[in-house]
Amino acid sequence: MSERKVYVLGGGISKMAAERPDGAMRDWIVEAVMEAIKDAGVEIKDIEHATTSYFSDHFDKQLKGGAIFQDHIGMCPKPNVRVEGGGATGGLAIRNAYAYIKAGLCDSMIIYGSENMGRHVPSDTAQEFIAYASDFDWEFQIAGFYIAYYALMMRAHMDMYGTKEEQFAKISVKNHRNAMYNEYAHQPMDITVDDVMNSPLITSPYKKLDCSLLSDGASCLIFATAEWAEKYCSTWRQNPTIEFVGTGCGTDAMRLADRPWPYPGIAHYRAKRVASQMAYKMAGIKDPAKELDCAEIHDAYSGTELVSYEDLGFCGLGQGGPLTNDGYFDLGGELPCNTSGGLMGMGHPVGATGINQGVEILNQLRQEVHPARQTLIKTGLGLTDSHGGTGTFVGVNIFRRVD
Amino acid sequence: MTEDKRQKKTFPKLPVINDLPPKKRGLVTTKLQVFEALDPMGPELHWMPERGKADDPWKDFRTIERIQIDQHITYRHSLGKYSKFFLELENKKFFATKCPKCGQVWPIPRPVCPNDLTICKWVELPGTGTLVSHSVSQFIPIFMTDRVEIPYVLAMVRMDGAPKTLFTHMLKNYGKEKDIYDGMRVKVSYSNKPAPHPLLLMWFEPV
Q: What is the DSSP letter of B126?
A: -
Name, in order, each residue with C-beta under 8 angstroms of A107's C-beta and a sequence gap of 6 or more.
Answer: A48, A101, A224, A225, A227, A228
Let me know: does A11 contact A363? Beta carbons within 8 Å: yes
Cβ <8 Å between A155 and B135: yes
- At residue B143, does pLDDT exceed 90? no
Name, in order, each residue with C-beta under 8 angstroms of B75's C-beta and a sequence gap of 6 or more.
Answer: none
Name, in order, each residue with C-beta under 8 angstroms of A388's C-beta and a sequence gap of 6 or more.
Answer: A55, A85, A86, A87, A88, A89, A133, A394
Name, in order, each residue with C-beta under 8 angstroms of B60's C-beta and a sequence gap of 6 or more.
Answer: none
Which residues sit opposite B134 in a β-bridge? B155
Q: In what order do the strands lie in the sheet with B94-98?
A: B105-106, B94-98, B121-125
Which residue in B62, B141, B182 is closest to A159 by CB distance?
B182
- pLDDT single digits (tens) A340-361: 999 999 999 999 999 999 999 9
Task: Let me know if B118 is exposed, middle or buried by CB neighbors in 10 A (0-12, 13-18, 19+).
Answer: middle
Q: Kindly write down the DSSP assignment for every residue of A292-327, as one continuous string.
A: -SEEE---SBHHHHHHHHHHTTSS-TT-HHHHHHTT
Give me chain B's average pLDDT, please.
88
Which residue in A32, A188, A202 is closest to B8 by CB distance?
A188
For residue A212, which of A180, A178, A186 has the smallest C-alpha distance?
A186
- pLDDT single digits (tens) A347-403: 999 999 999 999 999 999 999 999 999 999 999 999 999 999 999 999 999 999 999
Banded model confidence at residue A53, pLDDT cuts 50, 70, 90:
very high
Q: Kindly write down the DSSP assignment for every residue of A240-288, as one continuous string.
A: PPEEEEEEEEEE--SSGGGS-TTTTTTTS-HHHHHHHHHHHHHHT-S-H
Cis (ω within 30 of 0) for the bond into B151? yes
Q: What integer is the mean pLDDT of B98-126?
A: 98
pLDDT at A2: 81
Let me know: does A128 contact B108? Beta carbons within 8 Å: no
Banded model confidence at residue B14, pLDDT cuts 50, 70, 90:
low
Distance, in Å, from the CA atom of A253 to the CA atom of A274, rounded to the nearest integer, reads 13
Q: Which residues of B touch A32 (CB under 8 A)?
A: 43
- At residue B5, does pLDDT exceed 60? no
Q: What is the DSSP letter of B164?
A: S
- At residue B4, does pLDDT exceed 50? no
Measure B136 CA to nearest chain A CA, in Å. Answer: 5
Angle at CA of residue B179, ends B174 and B180, nearest 5°: 70
3-state secondary structure of B92: coil
Task: Let me know if A49 is exposed, middle or buried by CB neighbors in 10 A (0-12, 13-18, 19+).
Answer: buried
Is residue A369 within a helix (H) or strand (E), and if so which, with residue range? Answer: none
- pLDDT single digits (tens) A177-190: 999 999 899 999 99
Banded model confidence at residue B169, pLDDT cuts 50, 70, 90:
very high
pLDDT at B13: 60
Which residue in A20, A34, A190 is closest to B6 by CB distance?
A190
Is residue B94 within a helix (H) or strand (E), and if so which, with residue range? Answer: strand B94-98
Name, in order, each residue with C-beta under 8 angstroms of B56's C-beta and a sequence gap of 6 or more.
Answer: B44, B47, B62
Measure A289 CA to nearest chain B CA, in Å. Answer: 31
Q: What integer is the mean pLDDT of B160-180?
A: 96
Give me chain A's average pLDDT, please.
96
- At residue B3, does pLDDT exceed 80? no
Cite the beta strand spans of A57-180 per DSSP E: 80-83, 108-116
- pLDDT single digits (tens) B66-96: 999 998 899 999 999 999 999 999 999 999 9
Distance, in Å, from the CA atom of A77 to the CA atom of A75, rounded to the nearest integer, reads 6
Q: What share of chain A is helix, strand, coil (3-state, %, to 5)?
A: 40, 20, 40
In percent, how much of chain A has pLDDT > 90? Answer: 91
Cβ <8 Å between B79 and A147: no
pLDDT at B10: 46
Q: What share of chain B is helix, strand, coil (3-state, %, to 5)?
A: 15, 30, 55
pLDDT at B9: 44
pLDDT at B50: 55
Cβ <8 Å between B8 and A22: no
Banded model confidence at residue B48, pLDDT cuts 50, 70, 90:
low
pLDDT at B53: 59
For residue B43, which of A292, A8, A346, A33 has the smallest C-alpha distance?
A33
Length of chain A: 403
- pLDDT single digits (tens) A63-93: 999 999 999 999 999 999 999 999 999 999 9
pLDDT at B141: 84
- At residue A37, does pLDDT exceed 90? yes
Cβ <8 Å between A22 and B66: no
Distance, in Å, from the CA atom of B131 to the CA atom of A9, rounded to the nearest integer, reads 51
Q: Which residues of A touch B43 (CB under 8 A)?
A: 12, 14, 31-32, 34-35, 38
Q: What is the 3-state secondary structure (H, E, C) of A22-81?
A: CCCHHHHHHHHHHHHHHHHCCCHHHCCEEEEECCCCCCCCCCCHHHHHHHHCCCCCCCEE
For residue A355, which of A110, A152, A120, A130 has the smallest C-alpha distance?
A110
For residue A63, what are the CA distances in angstroms to A54, A68, A87, A100, A114? 11, 10, 18, 24, 14
pLDDT at B6: 47
Which residue in A61, A203, A257 is closest to B108 by CB distance?
A257
Instruction: Mark which residues 45-104 of B lie under 8 Å from A by CB.
Output: 45, 58, 61-62, 64, 66, 69, 71, 79, 82
Judge whether B173 is closer than 8 Å to chain A, CB to CB: no
State which residue of chain B sits closest to A196, comparing Cα positions: B3
For residue A350, what are the CA distances in angstroms to A16, A129, A389? 11, 12, 11
Mutation target for B interface from A13, A14, A19, A22: give the one with most B CBs within 10 A. Answer: A22
Q: What integer is the mean pLDDT of A120-148?
A: 89
pLDDT at B45: 52
pLDDT at B42: 59
Name, in order, each residue with C-beta under 8 angstroms of A342's C-beta and a sequence gap of 6 or more.
Answer: A175, A178, A179, A212, A296, A297, A299, A305
Cis (ω within 30 of 0) for the bond into A264? yes
Banded model confidence at residue A264, pLDDT cuts 50, 70, 90:
very high
Let me know: does A177 contact A125? Beta carbons within 8 Å: no
Judge whether B199 is closer than 8 Å to chain A, CB to CB: yes
